[in-house]
Chains A and B, each alone.
Chain A
Amino acid sequence: MPILEGKKVTKYFGGLAALYQVDFEINTGEVVGLIGPNGAGKTTLFNLISGFLPITAGEIRYKGQKINGLNPHQICWKGVARTFQSTKLFAGMTVFENVVSASLFGSKRTVSLPEAERETMELLEFVDLLSVRTMLAKDLPIAHQKRLEVARALATKPDLLMFDEVMAGLNPVEVVEAMGLVAKIRDRGITIFMIEHVMKAIMEVCNRIIVLHHGSKIAEGRPEEVANSPKVIEVYLGE
């Protein structure tokens, strides 16, 4: 059974169809890439899944249960976490506080403070931010901020993690590090759905790629299939 599936997912902004009847499936344990030109509807799809935007038509199911119509905090409690295209950290709070908050509030059950703190320390070590834990989030360099968002998302104990351009703005060395981090997260048994423009990363990390264009799914398949698809090449490079 897929961990996440969308059926005829449609989103209108006024008269504009940002997404039109998109079907998709994410299987447990997979790393699935979501690519497409600007304005294709990638972030909109993430916003629908995380409950930030209401769906116009169609259905999104997580572990077999319908989740569209739920609020973002409820979807988070079910085990879906995400990062944001432009980082949305608690800028005036410390690195530690950013993660410990997610740990405390991320599950429906009550998490004790010592437990949250222990988990936070473990996650900060996991993303290699332990040494800067008392710094304010806004004072971190961009690569650290991206990793902090990942740690914060992980602290909510997700089974499905959505990365919205987690590698944007990173230099080539940092991209390689981020790819390693994605692989490490996958090895923890977390399913990953990621929007990415860094093609090298997409090609190497993803099991499968979904391509959106003008709100419709135009291709889907293994990385090399998608890369060689005439339709995809046409969309990216023009005729």
Chain B
Amino acid sequence: MEGFNVITKRPFTVGAVLLILILLAIMPFYAKPYPVISLTNILMYIILTVSWVIFSGPTHYISLASAAFFGVGIYTSALLGKILPLPLIVVAGGFASFILALFIGLLTLRLRGMYFIIFTFSISELIRHFLLWWETNVEGTVGRWVVMVSHNTVYYIILIIFVMTMLIAYLMRQSRFGLALRCIGEQEEAAIHIGINATIVKSLTFAISATFMGASGAIMATRWTYIDPRIAFDPHLSFMPVLMAIFGGTVHFYGPLFGAAIFAYLEEILTTKFPYYYMLFFGAILIVVILFLPHGLFGLIQKRWKGGSE
């Protein structure tokens, strides 16, 4: 399409993507458990980041509600773990987050800028404190057990969610729905005046992005065996997708993917090697990226690739 940023469709790219997917799919057969577990963790961060970018990338609405949606998935898993089979739990986790996000969206997407950021952050905190209060005062016990499943099962389900997230992110970017989102992000007042139903488009996208967060929460919960509101709604998970997206760059499709992958890998390395100083390293890296790489890491890669002619 003329004037559009069409992601390259060369057979080479398709081949590379397929090859990577096959390698990922057979990984448990040739790798030791540790790399598989570690990769599961990285994929989780990629899902959170890419789905965060689905909404916040084009619209420029910064959401800090990721932890809320992830946590809702975790709690769905804890509540339904003994009743439903695993795939259905994951679907239920995604669906619960979808509904919550749709509700929040219709209610609050009128808020802009700072107000939206603070509100989304508060949602997560509100749910966390409400659940703590509920468990303390109504149920009498805080926290609950989650049914455990094997590492490989967790890995495969996360892999499937990852593939679906990337696919939806790609399709939305290419579709007229994605174009409507970009219009909203560029100039919302003009967007509604050219016939875009901004409320529906924003709410639906917000809910779709939350679905993947909820689904990944539902499956990741099985790794922790014990969860409570503080673990499930950890604000850390609201900030990480934002940082990872900034790190990788939100303009290019692969930016968030690479950002999250590298960032999560670094976290893994740094927390094991420098458990006391790793946050310091992170801080330094982030400052450098924000100051010198406005389009993130991927922006830099692409710039070099094209011989500096951006």
Contact = CB atoms under 8 A, between A and B. Distances in A.
Interface in A68-109: 71-73, 76-77, 81-82, 84, 88-97, 100-102, 104-108
B3 A94 contact: yes
Contacts of A100: 3
A101 B186 CA distance: 12
Contacts of A94: 3
Interface residues of A, number: 36
Interface in B175-216: 176, 179-180, 182-183, 186-187, 189-198
Contacts of A153: 194
A204 to B, nearest CB: 28
Nearest to B187: A88
A93 B84 CA distance: 47
B195 A156 contact: yes
Contact of B195 (A90, A91, A107): A107
A97 B183 CA distance: 9
A72 B179 contact: no
B3 A72 contact: no
Contact of A113 (B1, B183, B187, B189): B1
Range, interface on chain B: 20 to 34
Interface in A127-142: 133-134
Nearest to A88: B190
B305 interface: no
Contacts of B190: 84, 88-90, 152
Contacts of A108: 195
A104 B98 CA distance: 27
A73 B3 contact: no
A91 B186 contact: yes
Most chain B beta-carbon neighbours within 10 Å: one of A77, A82, A94, A102 = A102
Interface string B1-26: 11110000000000000000000000
A30 interface: no
Contact of B194 (A93, A113, A117, A156): A156
B198 A97 contact: no
Given A73-B198, A117-B1, A117-B2, A104 B186 contact: no
B136 to A, nearest CB: 44
A50 interface: yes
Contact of A93 (B176, B182, B193): B182
A113 B175 CA distance: 10
A97 B190 CA distance: 13
A192 interface: no
A92 B197 CA distance: 20
A101 B176 CA distance: 8
Contacts of B195: 73, 76-77, 102, 105-108, 156
A52 B1 contact: no
A102 B190 CA distance: 10
A153 B192 CA distance: 12
B193 A72 contact: yes
B179 to A, nearest CB: 6
A113 B179 CA distance: 12
Nearest to A94: B3
B182 A104 contact: no
List of 7 A-B pairs having minimum Cβ-Cβ separation, nearest first: A96-B3, A90-B186, A102-B194, A88-B190, A105-B195, A76-B195, A72-B192
Interface of A: 50, 52, 71-73, 76-77, 81-82, 84, 88-97, 100-102, 104-108, 113, 117, 133-134, 152-153, 155-156
Given A73-B197, A101-B196, A152-B190, 10 more contacts: A52-B189, A81-B193, A89-B190, A90-B183, A91-B186, A91-B187, A94-B3, A96-B2, A113-B176, A153-B194
15 contacts: A52-B189, A71-B192, A84-B189, A90-B186, A90-B190, A93-B186, A96-B3, A97-B4, A97-B179, A101-B196, A102-B194, A105-B194, A105-B196, A106-B195, A152-B190
